[in-house]
């Protein structure tokens, strides 16, 4: 096992022992403020078995994950091409950028009331809000990625007489891809943040829904289960993206290693 991993595991173990000690052994933190490991476990068993807040854990996780994936894919499928277009064409940038300058400072969460007003408490409203939050980082990073491609590399492509479509797929996209992936990671994080917030405000299923009901029931164990579930899902999806990135950017890791 690499040293980094073992140190990381040790840190987690110490944190767990500390948690157990403070809540259970010494009782310094009362269980009304923060749940003990045992309470958290029983909450987990509760939501997994009988269910809580309208469904069991699998149903909540499935719904949240589904919405995040849909919103995220929708955002990058629209944001990526728009970023490419803005990076490529100064005219497109001039037309589109003012709209961005107005929209960007609005926190994505501020769109939630409007989304619910338009589309109700169902999936569509949440996908729309996730789209708003994940769209901006994917556009901006794709745009910056295109603008960061070395000028001589672009000139080499012109010199080789690239057809338009091939120029996009074999020069612009791979050239911008390190930044595109940065954008994807930010988009994914934004997707989770926004989803949980949207579910807190109003949802029939989902992890945000679990958190919201648990808060009203004064049920700290269940709140922590919800938080841990989001953490694991966020970590897992980021990890999948990381693997895709490592695969797609093998040339870039070589490049970075060469630069030292």
Residues 6 or more apart in contact with residue 126 via CB below 8 angstroms: 67, 71, 115, 195, 198, 199, 203
89 binding another protein? (CB under 8 A): no
Residues 168-187 that bind another protein (CB under 8 A): 170-171, 174-175, 177
Q: Buried b vs exposed e over 5-21: b needs ≥16 C-beta within 10 Å?
A: eeeeeeeeeeeeeebee
Residue from 12, 159, 164, 247 that binds another protein (CB under 8 A)? 159
Sign of the alpha-carbon torsion through 50, 53, 57, 59? positive
Q: Which stretch binds another protein (CB under 8 A): 61-69, 85-93, 166-174, 180-188?
A: 166-174
Strand-pair partners of 55: 52
Residue 165 in contact with another protein, rule: CB under 8 A: no
**Strand residues in 173-232 grouped as ranges (E):** none
- Find the part of the chain contacting another protein (CB under 8 A) among 24-32, 40-48, 100-108, 147-155: 147-155
Give the nearer residue to another protein in terms of CB position, either 70 or 144: 144
- Specify the length of the chain in residues: 260
- Candidates 22-30, 50-58, 77-85, 152-160 — which segment interacts with another protein by CB under 8 A? 152-160
Of residues 36 and 141, the one with the C-beta less far from another protein: 141
255 binds another protein (CB under 8 A): yes
- Measured from the CB atom, is 241 or 249 closer to another protein? 249
Give the interface segment with another protein, choosing from 53-61, 128-136, 157-165, 196-204 (CB under 8 A).
157-165
Please state, in angstroms and rounded to a whole number, the distance separating the CA atoms of residues 110 and 210: 22
Token pair for residue 77? 């499928």
Cβ-based neighbours of 147, under 8 Å, separated by 6 or more:
87
- CA 199, distance to chain mean position in Å, is 15
Please give the residue ranges that form the binding site for another protein (CB under 8 A): 150, 152-153, 155-163, 166, 170-171, 174-175, 177, 250-252, 254-255, 257-259
């Amino acid at each position: 096992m690499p040293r980094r991993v073992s140190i990381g595991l040790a840190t987690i173990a110490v944190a767990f022992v500390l948690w157990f000690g403070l809540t259970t052994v010494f009782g310094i933190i009362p269980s009304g403020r923060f749940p003990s490991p045992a309470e958290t476990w029983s909450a987990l068993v509760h939501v997994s078995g009988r269910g809580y807040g309208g469904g069991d854990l699998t149903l909540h996780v499935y719904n949240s994950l589904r919405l995040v994936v849909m919103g995220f894919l929708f955002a990058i499928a629209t944001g990526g091409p728009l970023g490419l277009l803005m990076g490529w064409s100064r005219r497109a940038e001039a037309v589109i950028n003012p709209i961005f300058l107005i929209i960007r400072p609005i926190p994505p969460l501020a769109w939630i009331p409007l989304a619910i007003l338009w589309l109700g408490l169902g999936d569509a409203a949440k996908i729309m809000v996730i789209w708003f939050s994940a769209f901006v980082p994917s556009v901006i990073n794709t745009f910056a990625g295109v603008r960061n491609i070395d000028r001589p590399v672009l000139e080499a492509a012109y010199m080789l007489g690239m057809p338009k479509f091939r120029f996009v797929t074999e020069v612009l996209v791979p050239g911008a891809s390190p930044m595109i992936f940065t954008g994807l990671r930010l988009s994914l994080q934004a997707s989770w943040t926004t989803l949980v917030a949207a579910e807190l405000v109003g949802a029939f299923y989902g992890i945000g829904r679990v958190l919201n009901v648990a808060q009203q029931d004064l049920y700290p164990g269940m709140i922590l289960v919800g938080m841990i579930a989001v953490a694991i899902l966020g970590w897992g999806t980021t990890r999948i993206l990381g693997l895709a990135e490592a695969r797609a950017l093998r040339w870039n890791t070589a490049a970075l290693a060469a630069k030292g």
